[in-house]
Chain A
Amino acid sequence: MSRKRAVVATAAVLAGALVLTACGTNRSETGGTAGGSCDTSKGTLVIGMIAPLSGGLSALGLGMRNSAELAVDQANQKCTVPGYRLAFQAEDDQATAQIAGQAATKLSSDPNVVGVVGTLNSSTSQSVQPILAGKKIVQVSPANTNPTLTLGEAPTTDPKRPFPGYFRVATTDLVQGPFAAQYMVQKAGKKNIAVIDDGKTYGAGLAEQFAKEATRLGATIVAREKVGEKDTDFSGVIAKIRPLNPDAVYYGGEYPVAGPLSAQLAGAGLAIPLMGGDGIVDADFVSLGGRPGDLATNVGAPAESLPSATAFIADYEAAGFAEEFSAYGVLTYDVTNVIINALAKVADGGAFDDAKRQELIDAVQQTSLDGANGKVAFDQYGDTTNMLLTIYSVEGSDFAPVETGTFRSS
């Protein structure tokens, strides 16, 4: 091979590497069909999404993308927003705060972007919030649960809303953690619980709230451990908690770690249930090692049991998406409609411009929507007023609902 050809070959390999990286980090997909007979004389407005479309959490993220796209398509067909065609633009954050920040910058630099649905992870929202707030772009998350996102640095003692343009329909860890603890201690009768988390905003916060309530209810937290979100071998942690004889493990984090962790617990002779939050509610948890009897809490009620969600489920299936709508599909569909409905109200009075962005935020604040997941409304912090949660347990190859309840601090 001549020197020149060799150089060309190397350049080709490097160029290939760059192209592939580019694919990985900047995948954006545009959806939304033009409404056939609607008046779209004023142009196109974009609803953005920031969610993990690739990587370990993509099962959840792709379900979110499809559900939001469905809501946008329906709005276009029904001419919900007078004078405008809606476009949908989903950006991949790979569940990484830094990449989510890039996605937010990209969306906020487009003057047609009016609102953003997402993110999935609390940690990514932390970097997205200030960027979108700078442009007064309304953000509604179906999935963020960390209390500080709406309540500020001291959520329990001195709540202060940091971003007036940020809303969410997922109940916070302040609700979900204790709800899980009440079930595990009072209903399942577990007394010696090992608590493990992945050290991320979501996982650590949830585990903290769980541990607090479980202790208050009289259970002993026998161990408080952390694992890395990219770890695959948990033998060290498991050997550490094994001699403490826990009768259950609570894991704050997501299914890519929780599934293998559950399998390795059993592998080390600890056949005790693992419980987690909404981040582990996916069939992938089971395929990665989750065992029958493992438990989880999730926000809202199971879609299949909700009369209000039947239309969504039918429409989703009719749309023929390749992926399941997954744990956040119903809530994502609702929050997308929250933005669309608020937009319809604001756009009714004339063209949408920068001056209308505050009006849009105010309209979202005043939302009162009968969504697929039930009533959607926000309190003065931008948190949902709907405190419905469900306990799930693994049966066969997926989670099945055990009971749905409204959280009460006892």
Chain B
Amino acid sequence: MLPTLLSQVANGLVLGSLIGLIALGYTMVYGIIQLINFAHGEIFMVGAYGGLAALTYLLPAAIANQWYLALPIALVAGAVIAALVAVAAERFAYRPLRDAPRLAPLITALGVSVALQEAVRVFYPDATAALPFPSIFIEGTLEIPVPGGTVPIKYAGILLALVSLALAAGLQVFVDRSRTGRAMRATAQDRDIARLMGIDPDRVIVLTFLIGGALAGVGGVLYGGYLNNINIDMGFQNGIFAFTAAVLGGIGSIRGAVVGGLAIGLVKSLGGQYLPGGTAYDYVWIFVVLIVVLVFRPQGFFGETERVRA
């Protein structure tokens, strides 16, 4: 019993920290320009394909087989490509609509999401089907002994969880402490006043997309290395989870995104184990929790009640 419980907790934490990492992108963009960037899941997917492209086409096999060389290169490639795509989406799809009614950029985001998915399917070689993703970390499984058995966690899963949480913590410090972070918070509070204080809101918004995209790209590569295969649908499903996590944690809050992500990961794995219906119904419990939380706390765990703007 205990090993099973702990295994499911471990599974939930690995998945949850990844969802939290993706959710950071949703929550930051929403905080700054009140846009739910539905294409963000696809940015995550593009990052995974970017990392795979670097491993497949850029690196000689001798380097690609050494994880300590391949891992940083794949992560950087995934982050750079995802960040570029995110910034391009902002520049060409969202910025022209910044003063349009809110629904216009929202629908545009859905369009960008479809465009990115189809672009990868059409232009990435063999992306019409799932592609194998090489191992980019120590292969194998860590068996943690506990009373009554062992808890298996893949090393790549441990890496995924630790890197995700470290990046989220780093982002929180960056936003709280740095000058640029202060500019981001100022822009989030009131773009016009921030402009009067000498902040260039366009620069801040581009930076927000850049950081969110890079984090998602890192997540995509780590996810590929964890599961050893990627497909063009991976962004949609994890994007929905991440969006839910951002709402659950309080959209606009970095801490909330991570807590929301971990909550979803744990609800999925523990709900699939212990609640009626088993793993076939694990998605149901995620959204049951979301609804219950929103009924009693509409702003989410750490969110602020939305200010009405003039």
A interface residue numbers (CB < 8 A to B): 1, 3, 6-7, 9-10, 13-14, 16-18, 20-21, 23-24, 54-59, 199, 225-228, 230-233, 235-237, 239-240, 242-243, 256, 259-260, 263-264, 267-269, 284, 287-289
Contact = CB atoms under 8 A, between A and B. Distances in A.
Contact of A284 (B115, B129, B140, B280): B129
A199 B115 contact: no
Interface size class of B (residues with CB under 8 A): 35 or more
Contacts of A18: 111
A236 B4 contact: no
Given A10-B96, A225-B278, A239-B269, A24 B141 contact: no
Interface in B242-272: 268-269, 272
10 contacts: A6-B96, A13-B93, A14-B111, A56-B129, A225-B278, A233-B15, A236-B279, A236-B282, A240-B279, A260-B229
B176 interface: no
Q: Tell me whether chain B's interface is mostly helix, strand or loop, or mixed.
A: helix
A181 B116 CA distance: 43
Contacts of A269: 141, 143, 150, 152
A288 B129 CA distance: 10
Given A10-B93, A235-B269, A243-B3, A21 B118 contact: yes
B4 A225 contact: no
Nearest to A270: B152
B234 A239 contact: no
Contact of A56 (B122, B130, B149, B278): B130
Contact of A225 (B95, B152, B279): B279
A9 B88 CA distance: 12
Interface string B1-35: 10110011001001100000000000000000000
A8 B247 CA distance: 33
Q: Tell me whether chain A's interface is mostly helix, strand or loop, or mixed.
A: helix
B279 A17 contact: no
B273 A239 contact: yes
Pick the 4 closest A-B CB pairs, nearest first. Answer: A6-B96, A20-B118, A17-B115, A226-B280
Contacts of B283: 228
B193 interface: no
A315 B93 CA distance: 50
Contacts of A7: 96
B115 A256 contact: no
B305 interface: no
Interface of B: 1, 3-4, 7-8, 11, 14-15, 92-93, 95-97, 108, 111-112, 114-115, 118-119, 121-122, 128-130, 132, 140-141, 143, 149-150, 152, 154, 157, 227-229, 231, 233-234, 236-237, 268-269, 272-273, 278-280, 282-283
A51 B130 CA distance: 17
A16 B123 CA distance: 14
Given A13-B115, A267-B152, 15 more contacts: A1-B96, A14-B108, A16-B115, A232-B227, A236-B268, A239-B7, A239-B8, A239-B11, A240-B272, A240-B273, A243-B4, A259-B130, A267-B140, A268-B152, A284-B129
Contacts of A13: 92-93, 108, 111-112, 115
B56 to A, nearest CB: 13
Contacts of B97: 10
A221 to B, nearest CB: 14
A255 to B, nearest CB: 9
A84 to B, nearest CB: 33
Nearest to A60: B129
A228 B231 CA distance: 14
Given A268-B152, A284-B129, A239 B4 contact: yes
B14 A242 contact: no
A225 B96 contact: no
Contact of B111 (A17, A256, A260): A17
A54 B268 CA distance: 30
Contact of B231 (A17, A56, A242): A56
A343 to B, nearest CB: 32
A56 B129 CA distance: 4
A199 B231 contact: no
Contact of B141 (A232, A240, A267): A267
Nearest to B111: A17
Contact of B233 (A9, A58, A230, A287): A230
A230 B132 CA distance: 15
B229 A268 contact: no
A57 B132 CA distance: 15
Contacts of B108: 10, 13-14
Nearest to B97: A10
Contacts of B95: 6
Nearest to A53: B128
Contacts of A9: 92, 96
A347 to B, nearest CB: 36
A155 B228 CA distance: 40
Contact of A24 (B8, B118, B234): B118
A106 B156 CA distance: 47
Contact of A236 (B1, B11, B234, B236): B11
Contacts of A226: 278-280
A226 B279 CA distance: 6
Nearest to B143: A269
Given A20-B118, A23-B118, A199 B92 contact: no
Nearest to A263: B228
A236 B130 CA distance: 21
A225 B111 contact: no
A18 B119 CA distance: 11
A230 B8 CA distance: 20
Contacts of B3: 243
A242 B115 contact: no
Contacts of A232: 227, 229, 231, 234, 237
